[in-house]
Amino acid sequence: MTFKMKEGEGAMETSILEDQIVEQLKGMCDWLQKKTCYDDYLIRLLDLIGATMVGVKPAELLNIPVNEGGTKNLALEELRVYFLRDKNIKLREIKTQNGRVQVLFYHSTSLDNALCNKVNLKFLRGLGYPQQYSVEGYVNYLVTRLNKKDFPHEIGLFLGYPLKDVLGYIGHPSLKLVKINGWKIYGNDKLSNKRYESFLQARIKVREFIYPVANYH
């Protein structure tokens, strides 16, 4: 089985063999099993970002409660420790408001594949992103924009959505809303459906590994 995402208009491609994903998930489960205790929120968080951790979904943006169950939420700190095992998986805290911290989780290689094609780069540079491309440079610029008043809707590209859906969302007249399936889909839905299915199947695979471990504990 292969998780594969392709975009004809820009050649976004991420292909990761299942045995590589399984190997990574086994490592995650070993880490969980060695922990004497952890809260349910950590498992929930691993579920939410699972497709990104295995490199199928480029990034995930979440608002995480600072406190959980009346005590400080330690899930982020736990993940920081785990992410030291894999240089591809990173997180950036954006801002804290209303008792929640906004965090961008991303897989460097997958995000690079999502962004570094001519069509996507032209679009992002038109919004002020650096002419000199690098994954970290573009993440830094996105973080800057996330801290401003107006929400940067181009984040859809970072999250793995097709460019056509990002353009449709911001009002491109030739792209009409056809459905909502994970996100708002505009125009021909074939690519968007395949992309969403890839994300979903990756997340399901992660669940198959982490929840039995959590239940065992």
Per-residue tens of pLDDT for the chain, all 217 residues: 334 444 444 334 334 446 667 777 777 777 776 665 566 788 889 999 999 999 999 999 999 998 876 667 788 888 888 888 888 899 999 999 999 999 999 999 999 999 999 999 999 999 999 999 999 999 999 999 999 989 999 999 999 999 999 999 999 999 999 999 999 999 999 999 999 999 999 999 989 888 776 664 4
Q: Where along the chain do its domains lie?
A: 2-150+193-216
- Output the pLDDT for position 71: 66
- Output the pLDDT for position 13: 38
- Output the pLDDT for position 136: 97
CA neighbours closer than 13 Å in the CB half-sphere of residue 34: 8
Enter the tokens of residue 171: 């009002």
- Output the pLDDT for position 172: 94
> Can you list the alpha helix ranges (DSSP code H) found in 86-158?
108-115, 118-126, 135-146, 155-158
Q: Strand 67-68 relative to strand 59-65: parallel, antiparallel, unpaired? A: unpaired
CA gap 123, 167 in Å, rounded = 9
3-state secondary structure of 183: coil
- Output the pLDDT for position 14: 39
Q: Tell me if 91 sits within 8 A of 79, measured CB to CB.
A: yes
CA gap 39, 16 in Å, rounded = 30
How many helices (H) and strands (E) in the chain? Answer: 10, 9
pTM as predicted: 0.84
- Output the pLDDT for position 26: 74
Other beta carbons within 10 angstroms of residue 33's beta carbon come to: 10
Q: Strand 67-68 relative to strand 71-72: parallel, antiparallel, unpaired? A: antiparallel
- Output the pLDDT for position 11: 38
